[in-house]
Structure 1
């Protein structure tokens, strides 16, 4: 029996920008250390040239110091695109932090609703969404897309849904047809035709490669992108071109 060789199937696929990367670790979970060195090493080993990076510390403990950590990392590492974070449990304090991040040149903010115990219908989410749109920030959000699409409607917001599961792909598709700023990562779109379905209905420009390194295994989304039915120019767009356009 021949061993399964994922790397052979992935071939020379290169990701020019991974939109879903974090540094840090959850104190109550087993897992990788999440140090910048280990995270960037994992990405390099999988031919990922650059990453949009947010801080778990910022999401869980201290917004300002975690964001400053990411800004310092980006200043030291050209391959890192800094992604800010705000605390949805503090919607009043979130707005000045969004403004500080925008003034510092940050182009994206990441929301951690599950980690912060916040539901899509909470007023804080709509409040943060409105101000992020006002500032022109790209929003990267976790959470079930079947609920978290709602706070971003009607704002002309640019949003990347990080947790779109292929079981919920139909809900994303119908929501995104009315919202041209809605995008999704490929991480959980592992059914045989999920990427191709998005490309045929919305266009491949709505898809972004995201691995959630170091918390998830990057090989699976790489394998799906490399062996799917997208055209070479579409693969290149998903593997970083779309992310760079949104972060420009």
Structure 2
């Protein structure tokens, strides 16, 4: 893939990426936003896009669950479950529907539950149901649901996740959304940490060993390296937001970072396996 910059200079992105592969991407969506232009986000097209970018598994959540109907959206995600990057056993009825061949490799989905933060009591019940079904993570969509970090519902869901030992994947501005999870020994991945706000994440995470950040928006020349220097490589997880973001951007940044090979491998899937396994 050749990319042309504003000065008209082209470079070979895949040449820079080299042999890097991602074992598990924590930020994958199925479905579409009804009010935005974008891809349809069907499971088949999402798997194909992941495969084309050498991403071998995705922690996938449903936009239908986030925007329309929690239970039916989550059930559709659970139906995609099959032998996956976490080594979990297959759901017998779905095993043939998940894997898609890509040169002998397969792309797998690890289901992530979704709750409606506007309905905290219902969210708690749904998390109980998901946990009983073997789901190890829950994803929050505060911006899409119009919920602020200080709302009691967010703290309620945070406590429930800690009680159920579920990892939380959350959107929202990390400068505010770290607060509901503080002091709970919670495992949280902040999916929207922007490199402009990296300093705030670092000082918050210094006191919270369960706080992690996605790489998706950490595209400054030294953002990944700064996280590793301050907190260690175990706090970084690869996220692409396929198919609603260009996966090659975080992939290219990771491949050209100054991280050591073992650190790259941890970011490219090892850490996510630990959090979701």
Name the TM-score, length of structure 1 as normaliser.
0.99
4+ long deviations beyond 3 Å: none
Distance in 1 separating the partners of 2:140 and 2:276 = 16
Residue 2 (structure 1) shift:
6.3
Give 1:38's aligned residue: 45
Please list, as runs of the form range in 1=range in 2, the aligned pairs for 1:155-234 lying within 5 A after superposition. Answer: 155-234=184-263
Greater displacement, 72-81 / 88-97: 72-81
Give 2:271's aligned residue: 242
Residue 3 (structure 1) shift:
2.6
SS of 1:110's partner is strand
Give 1:72's aligned residue: 79
Give 1:136's aligned residue: 165
Residue 178 (structure 1) shift:
0.2
Give 1:29's aligned residue: 36
SS of 2:213's partner is strand
Residue 73 (structure 1) shift:
1.0
SS of 1:73's partner is coil
Give 2:85's aligned residue: none
Task: Name structure 2 gaps, 5 residues minimum.
Answer: 1-7, 83-93, 100-107
Give 2:62's aligned residue: 55
SS of 1:198's partner is helix
Distance in 1 separating the partners of 2:276 and 2:149 = 24
Equivalent position to 2:23, from 16, 32, 40:
16
Distance in 1 separating the partners of 2:43 and 2:227 = 33
Cα offsets for 1:87-110 (capped at 9, x unmatched)? 000001111100000000000000
SS of 2:10's partner is coil
Cα offsets for 1:117-171 (capped at 9, x unmatched)? 0000000000000001100000000000000000000100000000000000000
Greater displacement, 70-79 / 207-216: 70-79
Please list, as runs of the form range in 1=range in 2, the aligned pairs for 1:116-127 lying within 5 A after superposition. Answer: 116-127=145-156
Distance in 2 separating the partners of 1:33 and 1:63 = 19
Name the TM-score, length of structure 2 as normaliser.
0.88
Please list, as runs of the form range in 1=range in 2, the aligned pairs for 1:110-121 lying within 5 A after superposition. Answer: 110-121=139-150
SS of 2:252's partner is helix
Task: Name structure 1 gaps, 5 residues minimum.
Answer: none
SS of 1:4's partner is strand
What is the alpha-carbon root mean square deviation over aligned residues?
0.9
SS of 2:28's partner is strand
Higher relative contact order (Cα pairs below 8 Å, separated by 6+ residues):
1
Equivalent position to 1:152, from 164, 181, 201:
181
Distance in 2 separating the partners of 1:166 and 1:74 = 33
Number of residues paired by the alignment? 248
